[in-house]
Chain A
């Protein structure tokens, strides 16, 4: 019998699953050292590569599994919600986010993991994230046009390039292998 993932679950079951999946998310973040602002910002100063190592390993594992299950017809990709692309707001948003990440030493999920390891500065950052969301909601009418600009909803690299997802994955594997090799080498020589 063909499995038909993703599954439709009731709201209650969905919320219980959210807590369970969140437990693992938090456990792996904390165990990877990603609740520690010194390690989180280390990549930007070339002193600690935990963030890119954990992040790109996670992307590789999840992407491989996702496309493999889809090819094996065990998962219906059309029913997976694809993160929508709005090119310019996400480019500017990502660039601004990098500065916020560098200055505070956290991102939203890792700030929660930071608080979980007893870091009160992470709580201050969490309050700041709430305040920043409020600022956004206040100025939203003025920037709504830009926020909704350059929509490319559902755009994926394979669909844009018109190639098989495994061609894109091959590049991702090569890039990650090159990056991991360079980071390991750099750490050994310094």
Chain B
């Protein structure tokens, strides 16, 4: 029997990666497009804004792609993300990796982590709209199709991440 409160245990990233690849392949074969993630956040934001201020939401032309459909929340990527949440929850619960926590680099204060978590999120939200997707929809799905988009995105992301890490050495290490 495994002891529960222990350091997180994971599978080999090659095994997990092969599983991700087969999931992506199944998605291509069954529905004819790839996996996504960031558009669900944009969609929920647009729908939420419409609830708060319909007038303002409809003034933002970018959100019209979500709002001008019959049932905005019956969206493929949004349902996939709900599945993702449940699948990852099952994984962490079944292996004893689930633990309520506020994860941060050891040396970082809670206030600073709130700032990096939220601020980094803002940059991700903005840049994934600009790039028409994120690590899932462009890098992984596009990369596997050998689409130029996927490889441009993935190379730009790693290069800037390495430069950023060299400049902000104490952010995570």
Contacts and interface: CB of A to CB of B under 8 A. Distances in A.
Interface of A: 5-7, 9, 11, 14-15, 17-39, 41-45, 47, 49-63, 65-67, 69, 75, 79-87, 89-122, 124-138, 140-141, 143, 147, 152, 154-158, 160, 165, 168-169, 172, 180
B21 A57 contact: yes
A167 to B, nearest CB: 11
Contact of B125 (A32, A51, A129): A129
A87 B108 CA distance: 37
Given A59-B140, A101-B135, 4 more contacts: A57-B21, A107-B134, A133-B42, A157-B148
A7 B45 CA distance: 31
A137 to B, nearest CB: 4
Contacts of B29: 5-6, 65, 69, 75
A91 to B, nearest CB: 5
Interface in B24-78: 24-35, 37-38, 40-42, 44-46, 48-49, 60-63, 74, 76-77
Given A22-B87, A61-B17, A90-B138, A103 B61 contact: no
Contacts of A92: 127, 130-131, 156
Given A109-B136, A135-B125, A26 B89 contact: yes
Contacts of A140: 60-62
Contacts of B118: 104, 124-125, 127-128, 131
A121 B116 CA distance: 9
A59 B161 contact: no
Given A56-B17, A80-B32, A165-B146, A22 B84 contact: yes
Nearest to A65: B25
B117 to A, nearest CB: 4
